[in-house]
Structure 1
Amino acid sequence: MKMSNSLVWFRRDLRAFDHAALHRALTSSNRVYCVFVYDSDILDPLPRDDRRVRFIHASLASLDAELRRLGAYLIVRQGRPLEVIPALATELAVDAVLVCADYEPDAVERDAQMAERLSNDGRKFLSLKDQVIFEQDEVRTLAGGPFSVFTPYKNAWLKRLAAMPEALASYPVDPYAHAFAPPLGSSALPSLSEIGFEPGEPPLPAGMEGAEELFERFVSHIADYGQARDFPAEDGTSRLSAHLRFGTTSIRHLVRTARQMIENGAGGSGATVWLSELIWRDFYSMILARNPQVVTCSFKPAFDAIAWEQDDELFSAWCEGRTGYPLVDAAMAQLNRTGFMHNRLRMVSASFLTKDLGIDWRRGERYFALKLNDYDLASNNGGWQWAASTGCDAQPWFRIFNPVAQSQRFDAQGEFIRAWVPALERLGAKEIHAPWLVDTDVLAEKGVVLGRDYPLPVVDHDAARKRTLERFAVVKKTSSQFS
């Protein structure tokens, strides 16, 4: 049925190409309006210099410029969406509000309330899949149930995609641009200051152009991804996670490209490994959508019986990069200063917090939520529960990362550590991974006094490992939910 007017509400889909909701609106409406709402419920608690807001602000400018090229414009409002959207829908006399689906529990609840309010006004609320390839129950076990282990899920995902290539079909916008409502006046976008934030540059290239720039650079060396991605001193990852989080690129576009490279043999083994990483996003999104309780609880209830340490001083040392373990401290310095952390280091630092310090994964998850430019609830929660051995597809509870061994293996020359922990920059490759094992005279010659220039270790790894094994073993006695 053809609609008269419709409104596309942008959220985590800040692009004007291959866009499910925009395509649907343009092909089924006489006139289409576009809006983004700076959600006060989300923004109010954030620091005024939040890097993600700067990224969103720059990406909105990119989106608005592209919409204007197409003869349209972006309406930008600030407030509570449950108040702003229905009021704007009334003002514009639209028949429907269209969005790309969001699977986070708060967003699901908000969208349910929005659908009810719009329905009461005689309007439709249409939610379309866009940020994943397969959502919720689209990939099932042979018994028809959900997966809880990644590898079988990935195999089923790939099999379903082979049977349903239309899942990667594009949703074009340009051919239907005539349906856009034309701009009204100048309608300039608000500045960062006008929405209550400090001016500043985004933490990485933003908008659709930024995403494409990073993607083209990554594709040029994707063949090396399978090996290079584990070494934080190398630029071996795509750096596209923030763009996927805010939808300035299309997941279908990325998967299509990866599959084409695999089929053509152009991406080597790296393209296959990278496609697997994209499938992890779908997996964790499915887990969150089906199990919203994982936001505050372990995937398996028995794991909530683990007796975590309540030590604020140790937690602060971890947050501030003062643990005395150079690779962990370098990782936290990178996060705190830039909002980015290499994926290998996310596993190392999460393992250190939960397995060496014995601190609840939920505290670490919330800290990452405050700091990460690419913070995504599903992926962040899934990654933390994997590292803590409390979630689905968890590593065995007795597998504990050794932070020194990880450092020696993945930053053998200490390049990454020197970049982020300048107090250790004069130490050699054999000294930098565990400075407390180096003779004090040697350290002094290189300007390092432990306890003054760089912390002594806050815990002994071997002793901490034993405590962790004991902590999990107590629960293991009364539960069958351990590997």
Structure 2
Amino acid sequence: MKQNRSDNRMHVMTDLSPSLVWFRDDRRLGDHPALQAAMDRGGPLVLLYILETDAARPHGGARAVWLHYSLTALQAAIEDRGGRLILRRGSSAEVIDAVIAETDAGAVFWNRRYHKPDRDRDAAIKDDLAARGLTVESFNGNLLVEPWEVETKSGTPYRVFTPFWRAATDGLDVTDPIPAPQQLDSCVPDVSSDGLADWALMPTNPDWGSKMMDYHTPGEAGAQARLADFLDGPIEEYAEGRDRPDKALTSRLSPHLAHGEISPRQIWDACKDNDYTSRKFLTEIGWREFSYSLLFYNPDLATQNFNDGYDAMAWDHDDQAFEAWTRGRTGYPFVDAGMRQLWETGWMHNRVRMVVASFLIKHLMIDWRDGEDWFWDTLLEADLASNAASWQWVAGTGADAAPYFRVFNPFGQGEKFDPNGDYVRRWVPELKRLPKKYIHQPWKAPKEVLTDAGIVLGRDYPDPIVDHKSARERVLSAYKTARNSA
């Protein structure tokens, strides 16, 4: 493994102008190349986080909640080391200009972003500052490989995951993660900062968001603890058990990774033994890398079909059905369990995500973009690249997508991956007394079984809002029509 150039020592104060470190979705102190570059330069530090009012896509509700706690944790970690994090809200360029003027900063460092509107804004800021004589540098702090570093032999981006990941990891030499600094007491004092509470990131809906943090510990320390817990046991069963939502066998690192509280390089380093189980787990990191490559080359990934051959798809616009889906009232227990888990915890098991997405798109024939937007608002780890790429994968409109004729059977998936019904009983408690034979298809239960379980279908739990067989036939016909008209 390559060694980092820095020994991470605390630099002696010099007469150098201050260095501004712009934190974004990299809210950690360990393995933070921009922070390390500022410390290597020497001189005082200006640590800044901006709530950008000119962001291409504002934070969804759940992501904003995580941001509140994530910044609280980052502030505390910086203060524990003698430093200070400045919070400002506004246009990124205007805020940076103001902070530079207040601190006389002579250098600005940040870790890169990959969505074109963000890249363009960052490039304009970099060009402007450099023209004014400031040192400006950006770094790869959030991916294992840059999107432009992985191309086909013909020089084009990959459209299929497996060859992408094979090419990305062929000869990949991941440098050791940068240790977190022990001290940050050279920070510039007496610079005004917004109060985090004034940003009003917390939810105002009393029925939503109140329990999410019972299931998570935002922040860098929480991320490292989550990784350690995963490596201490669940990873051993991950390869065979990762599709089982009734078992705690996944890492639950996705919110931390999306908010940059842990880096993919830190995860890679922790799993570098590279046995079969670790390789299987790291493939999920690979899908994230692939998603960012797709977003880099396709900035409209969240709003336009990657495969425009499906642009003629005749989506249904059924508000009542969409509402039933969002609230876990479809009458299909495995789907409803997933949507209720999302509503309460801000997270959902990945196997269930595929099933609920397929149900919305292919059973209800509702546009995948509506589902992507709902996840953007309710998923704590709402990540533009991964969210959009995954929804398009299920819809059959994306890169390396599931074929359009693949329609997940919502009760078959439940019977296979929640065989005893424990997951359904946890999140759909009105069905908890049903025997496992009927837990995924309560409409098949004899009347006396339903009575013994205290259930009247249509009153205590809804009847299925669509018939699986007829819904499948309808959507396949619609896809074929769209393909033929392309």
Shift of the 101–3 alpha-carbon distance from structure 1 to 2, 3 Å rule, reads farther
Pairing 1:30–2:37 present: no
**Kept in 2: contact 1:131–1:250 (CA 8 A):** yes
CA distance in 2, matches of 1:36, 1:299: 33
Alignment-derived partner of residue 150 in structure 1: 161
Alignment-derived partner of residue 95 in structure 2: 84
**Kept in 2: contact 1:61–1:189 (CA 8 A):** no
The one-character-per-residue Cα deviations of 1:238-257 (angstroms, maximum 9, x if unpaired) are 11111101111121110112
Alignment-derived partner of residue 118 in structure 2: 107
* Within-5 A mapping of 1:305-316: 305-316=312-323
Aligned residue type for 2:97 = P
Alignment-derived partner of residue 247 in structure 2: 234
**Kept in 2: contact 1:22–1:173 (CA 8 A):** no
CA distance in 1, matches of 2:390, 2:181: 38
Alignment-derived partner of residue 187 in structure 2: 182
Secondary structure of the 2:438 match is: coil
Q: Could you tell me how far 1:191 is from its partner in structure 2? A: 4.3
Pairing 1:210–2:222 present: yes
Q: Could you tell me how far 1:59 is from its partner in structure 2? A: 2.6
Q: 1:252 aligns with which of 265, 273, 283?
A: 265
Secondary structure of the 2:17 match is: strand
Q: Could you tell me how far 1:41 is from its partner in structure 2? A: 5.1
CA distance in 2, matches of 1:284, 1:318: 26
Pairing 1:441–2:451 present: no
Q: 2:200 aligns with which of 196, 199, 205?
A: 196
What's the TM-score, normalizing by structure 1?
A: 0.90
CA distance in 1, matches of 2:353, 2:39: 41
Shift of the 54–475 alpha-carbon distance from structure 1 to 2, 3 Å rule, reads closer
**Kept in 1: contact 2:102–2:191 (CA 8 A):** no
Shift of the 92–181 alpha-carbon distance from structure 1 to 2, 3 Å rule, reads same
Aligned residue type for 1:76 = L
Pairing 1:289–2:293 present: no
CA distance in 2, matches of 1:128, 1:112: 13
What's the TM-score, normalizing by structure 2?
A: 0.89
Q: Could you tell me how far 1:112 is from its partner in structure 2? A: 3.0
Q: Percent identity?
A: 39
Pairing 1:278–2:285 present: yes
Alignment-derived partner of residue 207 in structure 2: none
**Kept in 2: contact 1:352–1:403 (CA 8 A):** yes
* Within-5 A mapping of 1:27-426: 27-40=40-53, 50-119=61-130, 121-161=132-172, 165=173, 167-174=174-181, 181-182=186-187, 184=189, 190-192=195-197, 194-198=198-202, 202=213, 204-221=216-233, 222-259=235-272, 261-262=273-274, 265=275, 269-426=276-433
Q: Could you tell me how far 1:456 is from its partner in structure 2? A: 0.7
Q: Could you tell me how far 1:3 is from its partner in structure 2? A: 6.5
210-219 vs 74-83, which moves further: 74-83
**Kept in 1: contact 2:89–2:194 (CA 8 A):** no
Paired residues, what number?
Answer: 463
Secondary structure of the 1:285 match is: helix
Aligned residue type for 1:196 = A
Shift of the 316–31 alpha-carbon distance from structure 1 to 2, 3 Å rule, reads same
CA distance in 2, matches of 1:469, 1:461: 12
Alignment-derived partner of residue 11 in structure 2: none
CA distance in 2, matches of 1:6, 1:91: 13
Shift of the 195–44 alpha-carbon distance from structure 1 to 2, 3 Å rule, reads farther
Secondary structure of the 1:295 match is: coil
Shift of the 171–6 alpha-carbon distance from structure 1 to 2, 3 Å rule, reads same
CA distance in 1, matches of 2:188, 2:103: 13
**Kept in 1: contact 2:44–2:187 (CA 8 A):** no
Shift of the 455–39 alpha-carbon distance from structure 1 to 2, 3 Å rule, reads same
Q: Could you tell me how far 1:189 is from its partner in structure 2? A: 7.6
Shift of the 275–198 alpha-carbon distance from structure 1 to 2, 3 Å rule, reads closer
Q: Structure 1 stretches of 5 or more lacking a match?
A: none
CA distance in 2, matches of 1:477, 1:196: 49
54-63 vs 291-300, which moves further: 54-63
CA distance in 2, matches of 1:191, 1:181: 23
CA distance in 1, matches of 2:110, 2:79: 20
Secondary structure of the 1:38 match is: strand
Structure showing the higher helix proportion among its residues: 1
CA distance in 1, matches of 2:305, 2:191: 50
CA distance in 1, matches of 2:81, 2:192: 16
Q: Could you tell me how far 1:118 is from its partner in structure 2? A: 3.0
Aligned residue type for 2:43 = N
Secondary structure of the 1:277 match is: helix
**Kept in 1: contact 2:67–2:201 (CA 8 A):** no
Aligned residue type for 1:170 = P
Q: Structure 2 stretches of 5 or more lacking a match?
A: 1-14, 204-209
What root-mean-square deviation, in Å, do the aligned CA atoms of Structure 1 and Structure 2 show? 2.4
Shift of the 41–445 alpha-carbon distance from structure 1 to 2, 3 Å rule, reads farther
Pairing 1:11–2:24 present: yes
CA distance in 1, matches of 2:158, 2:67: 33
CA distance in 1, matches of 2:259, 2:145: 18
**Kept in 2: contact 1:101–1:127 (CA 8 A):** yes
**Kept in 1: contact 2:129–2:135 (CA 8 A):** yes
**Kept in 1: contact 2:291–2:389 (CA 8 A):** yes
The one-character-per-residue Cα deviations of 1:113-140 (angstroms, maximum 9, x if unpaired) are 4334434644344221111011111112
